[in-house]
Chains A and B, each alone.
Chain A
Amino acid sequence: MAERSSTNPFYTLIGRALVDEPYRARVIDEKQQAQVLAEVLGREATEADIKALRNSIEALEALYGKFGLQPYSA
């Protein structure tokens, strides 16, 4: 596989939240949002960062319900 490009950390945060249930819980928990953002941004989150994240929570929630695994058995 090709080398990974440097990517938008905000997109990466939202994308991970779509497929990682515990992480999603942290992202939507308003008390933890600053910390989650700081982890991906590599700096303290600003008010603007937190606002941008909160603006995307609805999109995240709308899409989250469309991801799933198909259970199976023999």
Chain B
Amino acid sequence: MPVAERRAHIRRGPDVDRLFAELPPHLFRQAKLLRYDLALSYSPNGQFEDIFTGRGEFPLLSIAPWLLDDLGFAESPARDEIERHLYLVGVLLAGRTHAVERMSDSASFYGDEHLALVELLSGRITSELGHVVPRGSRFWEEREALAVDELEDQLAQRELRRPPAVADEPEAYLRGRWSFPAKVLALAAHSVAGREDPSGEVAGLLSTLAAAFQIQTDLKSLHRDLQMGRATFVIASIARAAAMPLDPWPDPNSVLGAMAVTNSLEALLGSSLARIQDCRRVATKLRLPTIAAYTEDLEAHMGGHAAAALLDVSEPALPKALTMAEAFLLSDPTLKESWELHREGMFGEAEVASRFPAALILEMLIGRGHDLTGPVDDFLAFTAANRFRYYAHPWSGVDSDTIGVFLRLREHATDPGGHADALRAVLGCLERNVRETRRVPVWLTGCDPVGERPPVVDLGENCGTVAAHLLLGLCREGVERHGPTIEVGAWHLFARIRDVGLGANVNYPKLFALATFFRITRRLAAIYSGNGLGERAEETQRILRAELELASRMRPATPQEAGLLTIACVEGAAPDLVDPRWAVTILKGQRFDGSWSAEPFAAAPNRGNSVTWYSSTALTTAICYDALSRCAPPTS
């Protein structure tokens, strides 16, 4: 370890522990993860205690003690206390910088909610600085000016990096991440030492040093920046060397190849080294021996990077998220977690389940190209044996949704014509119910022998989404076989949508219903093209389109909402309405096992004659997966 780094290695962990220990739970969770992120991102060994040490990291936490040494501030208990506070300022500034950057990174797990953390950190920075710099000091004005410059620079960089990339000079993209925090710490060190940096040479030195490190950081993240379409000094330098335009954004591999062929890596490392040499010269001139010794050490070891990876290979977030979600969803072929399992005493039993949600998931996965013959066979066999009841209990009603999904999955079974007798019987019952009620009921009556089922309260009757699900299934079976049932059900459904819009849906999330309504109207508009029902289907699509446009103006708050809205836009043949930020909302919500946390999907009975929300991790994950799959560019 170079002598200049000695002070940086003093362990300050307990001070940081105390800093966040009293936070309420939400802020505490954000701060806790930020601490891990800082350790992962800026420590040579992943340990928080070692952040910003080692030659590969900008020496942010050493700036203040080095300057205090070099400015002749004598060792004393008072100085120890000053260093302790400035260490915390450094950590807080690092955390704030990291959080702000990640919030604008679509592939990160930071979002708008982290504004609270940034606010907290900003307040704590001021508070910690207040412990070492008196209120009336000029420091505060100068720090304010630095902060304003920093904010303006951030905005300018944001504009610059927005496609199309326009800067001619690669230097325009070079902004040292740690320049502002280092300058604040240097300003504080000067202030407590009773010294000034009148011509800003120390600040300039730190800015140059931060830029030297930024070049190496940008090299490390080159692959990822290319995938994200984020222009940096490194990318702009390679593009210039290869005479490659950045507008339109180039294929990432072509920039990597250009880097190899033009030998840009050496030039970029040379550019970083030149800046470090410049820092050494300035530090020597300014009589800052510790900083001069540090930069000299850096210079001497610049060639020693060959053993470590200089450039990270990055996996793009979207395909990685899809792979993780697939692995999660396919890990249990029964999808048991999604079953609507009741333990509150339904039908007087300790446990009663409906496998229906698993069938919806199977349908989504099949729609994305997965071969799930085995699970489909199992579901169809179980459903036929259960006589198309929603719950696996003889007192449960037979329902149209179960028949609908059975019909839709049938063609994906080993024997698409299987269970014919059971199906014939229930379809006969369905046809009679539709004929008598002139609509598609959710719950069918009279399918079981009289007297077998005691009086049971069935929830969710008159749901248009259930009717649409059934009609989609009947269409798969064939209009020639089920024409009268389809036509009666469709006329009724379209009339309800015309009258009450998405109020025709009872049991499902509104956006899920919207997508389902688009599917059935599209299907029936094609089948009945040129006659009255076809025209009504097209008219209904126009009503739904208006609902979709309204929904697309609302910002979805959760991954499932974002997923359902995306799917609705695609089913509504309106991919132009899909906002790229919805995919970001989904990506930021993915868990490390590939799943998304369960979100409310449908009402379900609960103890004490109450109703609460059914939710399932697998179902929410399938919706998010389905939506992301529809956003993914085709693979070559």
Residues of A within 8 A of B (CB): 1-5, 7-8, 10-19, 56, 59-60, 62-63, 65-70, 72
Contact A11 B263 (CB under 8 A): no
Contact B254 A12 (CB under 8 A): yes
> A11 — nearest CB in chain B belongs to which residue?
B257
Contacts A56-B261, A72-B40 given; indicate if A15 touches B313 (C-beta within 8 A).
Answer: no
Max chain A Cβ within 10 angstroms of own Cβ: one of B223, B256, B260: B260
Contacts of B255 in A (CB 8 A): 11, 15
Residues 250-266 (chain B) with a chain A CB within 8 angstroms: 250-261, 263, 265
> B305 — nearest CB in chain A belongs to which residue?
A66
Contact B256 A14 (CB under 8 A): yes
Decide yes or no whether B311 CB sits under 8 A from chain A. Answer: yes
**Would you give 26 A-B contacts (Cβ < 8 Å), ordered by A?**
A1-B228, A2-B229, A2-B247, A4-B251, A7-B254, A8-B254, A8-B258, A11-B254, A11-B257, A12-B251, A12-B257, A13-B253, A14-B261, A16-B256, A18-B256, A19-B223, A19-B253, A63-B259, A65-B306, A66-B306, A67-B223, A67-B312, A68-B308, A68-B309, A68-B312, A72-B40
Contact B256 A7 (CB under 8 A): no
How many whole Å from B216's CB to the nearest CB in chain A?
A: 12
> B253 — nearest CB in chain A belongs to which residue?
A15
Contacts of B261 in A (CB 8 A): 10-11, 14, 56, 59
How many whole Å from B56's CB to the nearest CB in chain A?
A: 12
Decide yes or no whether B508 CB sits under 8 A from chain A. Answer: no
Decide yes or no whether B172 CB sits under 8 A from chain A. Answer: no
4 tightest A-B CB contacts, nearest first: A68-B309, A15-B256, A15-B253, A14-B257
Contacts of A3 in B (CB 8 A): 248-249
Contacts of B260 in A (CB 8 A): 14-15, 18, 56, 59-60, 62-63
Decide yes or no whether B163 CB sits under 8 A from chain A. Answer: yes
A55 to B143, CA, bound (A): 54
Contacts A11-B242, A69-B313 given; indicate if A16 touches B46 (C-beta within 8 A).
Answer: no
A67 to B40, CA, bound (A): 19
Contacts of A17 in B (CB 8 A): 257
A5 to B255, CA, bound (A): 11
A2 to B257, CA, bound (A): 20
Residues of B within 8 A of A (CB): 40, 46, 163-164, 223, 228-229, 242, 244-245, 247-261, 263, 265, 306, 308-313
Contacts of A18 in B (CB 8 A): 253, 256-257, 260
Contacts of B40 in A (CB 8 A): 72
Contacts of B256 in A (CB 8 A): 11, 14-16, 18-19
How many whole Å from B36's CB to the nearest CB in chain A?
A: 10
Contacts A63-B259, A68-B312 given; indicate if A15 touches B242 (C-beta within 8 A).
Answer: no
Contacts A1-B229, A60-B260 given; indicate if A66 touches B249 (C-beta within 8 A).
Answer: no
Can you name 7 extra interface pairs (CB under 8 A) apart from A10-B261, A11-B253, A66-B309?
A2-B164, A2-B248, A5-B248, A15-B256, A60-B260, A68-B309, A68-B313
How many whole Å from A25's CB to the nearest CB in chain B?
A: 16
A7 to B258, CA, bound (A): 10
Contacts of B244 in A (CB 8 A): 7-8, 11
Contacts of A5 in B (CB 8 A): 245, 247-251
Contacts of B313 in A (CB 8 A): 19, 67-69
Contacts of B311 in A (CB 8 A): 66-68
A16 to B263, CA, bound (A): 16
Contact A66 B310 (CB under 8 A): yes
Contacts of B163 in A (CB 8 A): 1-2
Contact B223 A11 (CB under 8 A): no
Contact A15 B312 (CB under 8 A): no
How many whole Å from B528's CB to the nearest CB in chain A?
A: 40
> A66 — nearest CB in chain B belongs to which residue?
B310
How many whole Å from B532's CB to the nearest CB in chain A?
A: 44
Contact A16 B248 (CB under 8 A): no
> B251 — nearest CB in chain A belongs to which residue?
A7
Contacts of A67 in B (CB 8 A): 223, 309-313
How many whole Å from A65's CB to the nearest CB in chain B?
A: 7
A56 to B154, CA, bound (A): 39
> A3 — nearest CB in chain B belongs to which residue?
B248
A22 to B259, CA, bound (A): 20
Contacts of B242 in A (CB 8 A): 8, 11
Query: Among A1, A8, A12, A70, which residue has its beta carbon within 8 angstroms of that of B312?
Result: A70
A7 to B243, CA, bound (A): 11
Query: Among B252, B306, B310, which residue has its beta carbon within 8 angstroms of that of A15?
Result: B252
A27 to B180, CA, bound (A): 45
Contacts of B228 in A (CB 8 A): 1
How many whole Å from A44's CB to the nearest CB in chain B?
A: 21
Contacts A4-B251, A72-B46 given; indicate if A13 touches B257 (C-beta within 8 A).
Answer: yes
A17 to B323, CA, bound (A): 22
Contacts of A4 in B (CB 8 A): 248-251
Contacts of A16 in B (CB 8 A): 253, 256-257
Contact A1 B249 (CB under 8 A): yes
Query: Among B46, B250, B265, B306, which residue has its beta carbon within 8 angstroms of that of A7?
Result: B250
Max chain A Cβ within 10 angstroms of own Cβ: one of B250, B265, B306, B310: B250
> A52 — nearest CB in chain B belongs to which residue?
B261
A19 to B261, CA, bound (A): 15
Contact A12 B253 (CB under 8 A): yes
A41 to B146, CA, bound (A): 52
How many whole Å from B104's CB to the nearest CB in chain A?
A: 14
